[in-house]
């Protein structure tokens, strides 16, 4: 079996490397980034998305947003031009559920199976191979690629039909964004009140307020470390997809809308490429404090 991997950015690169470590044969392509380091580890390079598809039994895409996936799969020199009937395409990007359904329908007409399988965990878990992977699509197709996905994730869950993987990811991104905002608000309060933020963290992380988000992001905030594991601009994209989807189906999401405005402030202040824990900067700005040790 040969796996084609399209998109070797912050997340895709370590994911592809984990597949190589697991012994899979890989062919790789990225329109925007060098793939030389992955080729040096044993992968085969491709000249285009179509070239990659012609050589692959399973294709994985890991790209920034819906338009990038649409271009790579359905566009000129795209996967759809050369993928053989029976090929399985697994899109692990975070895109709009409606786009996932559109791609799935187009591929189905060519005899190509499709799963939408976005991930959560950021760069550290992509490197460790411990991502949470939420999958939408046919159960039989899912079982065929489950062993591949398990080389990249600690949990791999089929949640429903095509599109449901990305609905699940949108729910995940709402929880993460609101959690970071809540943590930032709480620690701004503690800092302004003159209480040591590190001690507050130590006191509450083991209780009901504790969370994976708190454990991952508060140490970064306390260190003033906003190096991206997950960039502000990507969370803006995810929340926009969440807002659009919610409005389409008639679900009010007022807290999501509020955090979106905080992220928009960060973009306006030039922090688009920083980690999403820089939400704390918004609270530092309005409270005129720094949440630091």
* Dihedral sign from CA coordinates of 109, 112, 116, 118: negative
Q: For the stretch 136-155, what's the b/e string if a residue is b when 16 or more beta carbons lie within 10 angstroms of its beta carbon?
A: bbbeebbeebeebbebbbee
What are the structure tokens assigned to 271, written together? 């922090």
* Region for residue 180 given its phi and psi (left: phi exceeds 0; alpha: psi -120 to 50; beta: otherwise): alpha
> Is residue 85 within 8 Å of residue 111, measured between CB atoms?
yes
Look at residues 256, 191, 189, 180 and name the one whose alpha carbon lies nearest to residue 218.
180
Catalytic sites, residue numbers: 169
Please give the Cα distance from 54 to 233 (Å, whole number). 33
């Amino acid at each position: 079996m040969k796996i084609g991997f399209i998109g070797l950015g912050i997340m895709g690169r370590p994911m592809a490397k984990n597949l190589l470590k697991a012994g899979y044969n890989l062919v790789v392509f990225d329109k925007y980034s060098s793939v030389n380091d992955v080729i040096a580890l044993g992968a085969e390079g491709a000249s285009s998305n179509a070239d990659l598809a012609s050589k692959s039994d399973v294709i994985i895409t890991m790209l920034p947003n819906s338009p990038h996936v649409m271009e790579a799969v359905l566009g000129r020199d795209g996967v759809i031009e050369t993928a053989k009937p029976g090929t399985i395409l697994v899109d692990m990007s975070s895109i709009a559920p409606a786009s996932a359904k559109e791609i799935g329908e187009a591929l189905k007409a060519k005899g190509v199976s499709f799963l939408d399988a976005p991930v959560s965990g950021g760069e550290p878990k992509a490197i460790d191979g411990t991502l949470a992977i939420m999958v939408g699509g046919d159960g039989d197709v899912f079982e065929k690629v489950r062993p591949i996905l398990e080389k990249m994730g600690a949990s791999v869950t089929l949640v429903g039909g095509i599109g449901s993987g990305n609905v699940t990811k949108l729910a995940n991104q709402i929880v993460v964004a609101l959690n970071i905002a809540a943590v930032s608000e709480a620690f701004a309060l503690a800092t302004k009140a003159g209480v040591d933020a590190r001690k507050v963290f130590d006191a509450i992380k083991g209780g009901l307020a504790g969370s994976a988000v708190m454990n991952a992001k508060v140490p970064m905030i306390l260190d003033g470390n906003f190096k991206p594991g997950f960039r502000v601009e990507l969370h803006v994209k995810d929340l926009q997809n969440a807002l659009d989807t919610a409005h389409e189906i008639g679900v009010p999401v007022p807290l999501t809308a509020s955090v979106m405005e905080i992220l928009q402030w960060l973009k306006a202040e030039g922090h688009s490429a920083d980690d999403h824990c820089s939400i704390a900067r918004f609270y530092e700005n309005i409270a005129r404090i720094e949440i630091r040790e």
